């Protein structure tokens, strides 16, 4: 957990997270035809797992975007400021989610 008041620590944490996400996104998802199915059930399970992996991949891409945007905000000096209302984001929130772009109130309102 980086200290949100320490930009260097936040930057390292964000960069580590970005590398982790890029690595996971870069790994190929096994497609059909690359394995032989013992049964219809195994095939169905495989298709299910593949779809789950793809859904996970979408979430990871979205998160990677948030992490990259947080790094840009660090560079721009606007890190820790809510992009909706301009208020400071609570340090506890940034400690839990270093790439948070909105304060808790705006994040709740956006849902």
Residues in touch with Zn ion (CB under 5 A): 82, 84-85, 103, 106
- Residue number with CB closer to Zn ion (56 or 96): 96
In the bound complex, what is the minimum distance in angstroms from residue 62's beta carbon to Zn ion? 20
Residue 82 CB coordination number (10 Å): 20
Q: What DSSP designation does 80 have?
A: T
Phi, psi of 88 (to 5 degrees): -65, 135
In the bound complex, what is the minimum distance in angstroms from residue 78's beta carbon to Zn ion? 13
- Residue number with CB closer to Zn ion (50 or 81): 81
* Residue 69 three-state SS: helix
In the bound complex, what is the minimum distance in angstroms from residue 11's beta carbon to Zn ion? 23
- Residue number with CB closer to Zn ion (35 or 85): 85
- Residue number with CB closer to Zn ion (100 or 103): 103
In the bound complex, what is the minimum distance in angstroms from residue 27's beta carbon to Zn ion? 35
Length of the chain: 111
Tokens 């109130």, residue located: 105
For the packed helices 40-76 and 7-26, what is the interaxial angle rounded to 10 degrees? Answer: 150
């Amino acid at each position: 957990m980086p200290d949100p008041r320490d930009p260097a620590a936040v930057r390292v944490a964000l960069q580590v997270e970005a590398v982790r996400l890029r690595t996971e996104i870069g790994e190929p998802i096994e497609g059909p035809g690359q394995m032989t199915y013992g049964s219809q059930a195994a095939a169905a399970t495989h298709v299910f797992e593949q779809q789950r992996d793809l859904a996970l991949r979408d979430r990871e891409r979205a998160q990677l975007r948030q992490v990259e945007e947080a790094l840009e905000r660090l560079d721009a000096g606007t890190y820790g400021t809510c992009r909706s209302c301009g208020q400071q984001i609570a340090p506890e929130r940034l400690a839990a989610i270093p790439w948070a772009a909105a304060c808790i109130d705006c994040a709740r309102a956006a849902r």
